[in-house]
Every structure is written in structure tokens, then in C-alpha cells.
Amino acid sequence: MTADPGMRRRTVAAGDTLSVVRNSLLRPRAVVSHLLVAVVVLGCIAAGQWQLDRLDTIREENARLAERLQQPPVELGEFLAAPDDRVDAAAMEFRRVTVTGTYRPEQEVLQRNRSHAGQAGFHVLTPLERQGGGVVLVRRGWVPASMDTPPVAEAPPPGGVVTVSGVLERPVAQPTFGASDPPDGELARVFHTDTERLDDQIDGELFEMVLRIDEEPGPFTLDELPLSAGSPALDERNHLSYAVQWHTFAAIAAVTYLAWLWSRRRRTHDTPGGDRADGGDGDRGSDDRGAGGGRAGEGGPAGPGFGGGSGEAAVVGRVDAPRQA
């Protein structure tokens, strides 16, 4: 009993299809594309994980800073063991302190790009000469953009000896890229609270951190300026949204590439050339013609006297027979 030729051809075609798919996936060019996509996917995942790690770090830091904001204020001098000692800015950030001294409005500067209630303006930074020596830069609050010349006459500091309470902020150094302040000359308006840079134009030794008056701002009014800048924001920035974006990019890259591979496999499976590769259609046509010729020679109208010749020979025999008679 012979096997069904159609079944044999389908089995061979299926095996050849798997072989073609396997070989196409392992070709050098295909391997290179696999590696490139893997690098992209893993890179996006790594970037997303880095954003999540940064988010955890910021949340822990914000928890510590929030705890510091709840502590009672102490005199700034208690943090300073000696006048020449460098302070630990990270340890002192957001600590609530009090400073007693006298304001120097003639050396006041304005910080650009500050807003309040949606209105552009400046923050007023006024040096305060401490009793006992040294100078502290005080962030007194916001004034509108029209008041762009220090000292701001519409927002004068209190005169005489005062005690100021607020929280300590880290200074902001000049960035490598983006807006920055000139390295030389006297500054009336600044982008950053770079106390090292401002120390060049303020008499005395400038304390390297900034004291922020964090009273809650009252109703918006121009009668009492400057308006308090309020408590520093403890936000989580954009790390969570960035992490979601990076992981989404990784998923899109992986799914798109797998879909492309699947569609290519389907095209390979449906290509007629797969049948021709195992001698399917072309050989089947010649086999059928050969079988038909044999049957015509054996059982055609010319009869067995033609010795199993071809169909064409049988026809010629029938035409020539009357002439021989």
C-alpha cells in the first residue's frame, strides 16, 4: 500500500517551512538585528529602572527634609563650630534657623524667572549682616517683573536690628549648559543663587547657604511687598512619568519586532516557492502527462497493436491505416 503523495508533499513542505524559518532567524544579518533590538529593549528597561531608583531616592530625601521642616528653629551660630569652617550643606538643608542682624539693601540682588499666582517677577535677595560677624543672603520674597532694579524701593527691608526666621537652602552653582550669570562684574539680577559668585560683590564673608523666609504668603496684593516665597516644594519631579515612558518604549520595540518576525514567517510559509523546492507542482505535471501517455498507448482507440506507444503515435496510426488497405 503506497502513501498518499499529497500527504507526503504536505509533510515535506511543513518540514521545509520550519527549516526555512529557523535558517532565516539564524542568518548573520538576522542575528545582528536580534542583537540590536535586544540592546534597545534592555537599554530602555535600564533607563526606566534608573528613573525608578531616582524616584525612591527622592522620596526618601523628601521624607527626611519634611522631618527637618517640623523641627523647632535654632540659632544659626549653633551650626557653626568656627567662623572659617565649611558647612555641610546636605546636613543643613531645610533646617529651620533664626538669624539676628541688620539688612544691607544697597547690596540687594534680584533672582530672575520667579512667578507668583501665575505672574512673572523676581525674588528679592538681600544680605543680612549677622551680629557676631558674617553675612547671610536672605530670600525675602517675590516682586512683580516691573520692579526690576535693586534695591526695590517698593519692597524695602525693615531697618535696624532684626531677627529673621526661615529655612536654609542649598546654593545653586552656575550650570554647564543653559542660562548662567557672567563670571565677572557686579550683578544686579541673577539666574542662580550662586553664593560663591555673589561673595565677590558683597562685603564681608558670605555664608554659603541661603536663608528662605517661608511664611505662608497672604492674599495677592501689591501693598505689602515682597510676598513671601512660602515653604520649599518637596516634589518628586518627573521620574515616575519618565519611568513609565521608558518601559513603554521597551514594550513597543519588543512587540513590534516580534510582530515583524511573525509576519515574515507567514510570508515564507505562504510562498509557492516552498512547494517547488520539494519538486511539487512542476514534477507533478510531468508525472501526470507521462501517465496519461502510457494509458493512451495501452488502452486507446488504436488498440494494443501499437505496442503501448504514445497518444500521438496512436492518432497517426489511425490516420494511416486506410491508406495501407
**Beta pairing class for 109-116 and 189-190:** parallel
| Contact between residue 218 and residue 224 where contact means Cβ atoms under 8 Å apart | yes
Per residue in 83-136, pLDDT (tens digit) is 555 678 888 889 999 999 999 999 999 999 999 888 999 999 999 999 988 999
Per residue in 199-208, pLDDT (tens digit) is 999 999 999 9
C-alpha dihedral sign at 278, 284, 287, 289: negative
pLDDT of 81: 56
pLDDT of 202: 95
pTM for the model: 0.64
pLDDT of 216: 72
**pLDDT average, residue stretch 287-301:** 44
| Contact between residue 239 and residue 52 where contact means Cβ atoms under 8 Å apart | yes
Query: Is the predicted pLDDT of residue 289 greater than 70, yes or no?
Result: no
Higher pLDDT, 283 or 220: 220
Query: Is the predicted pLDDT of residue 50 greater than 70, yes or no?
Result: yes
Determine the residue type at 32. Answer: V
Residue 204 phi, psi (nearest 5) = 90, 180
Question: How open is the CA angle 253-254-255, to the nearest 5 degrees?
Answer: 95
Cell of 202: 558683597
Residue 91 phi, psi (nearest 5) = -75, -25
Percent pLDDT > 90 in the chain is 50
Higher pLDDT, 82 or 197: 197
pLDDT of 299: 43
Cell of 214: 517661608
What is residue 209's three-state secondary structure? strand
**Beta pairing class for 161-169 and 135-144:** unpaired
pLDDT of 265: 73
Distance CA 246, CA 53 (A): 13
| Contact between residue 147 and residue 111 where contact means Cβ atoms under 8 Å apart | no
Can you spell out the DSSP letters for 45-83?
Answer: HHHHHHHHHHHHHHHHHHHHHHHHHTSPPEEGGGG-SST
Higher pLDDT, 212 or 291: 212
For 169, counting Cβ atoms within 10 Å of its Cβ (0-12 exposed, 13-18 middle, 19+ buried), the class is buried
Query: Is the predicted pLDDT of residue 38 greater than 50, yes or no?
Result: yes
| Contact between residue 124 and residue 155 where contact means Cβ atoms under 8 Å apart | yes
Residue 26 phi, psi (nearest 5) = -105, 5
Query: How far is C-alpha 96 from the geometric centre of its chain's CA atoms?
Result: 36
Per-domain residue ranges of the chain: 18-72+234-272, 95-231
**pLDDT average, residue stretch 9-32:** 65
**pLDDT classification of 294: cutoffs 50, 70, 90:** very low
pLDDT of 307: 42
pLDDT of 21: 59
Residue-wise burial string across 104-137, b where 16 or more C-beta atoms lie within 10 A, e elsewhere: bbebbbbbbebebeeeebbbbbbbbbbeeebbbb
Per residue in 263-288, pLDDT (tens digit) is 877 776 665 554 444 444 444 444 44
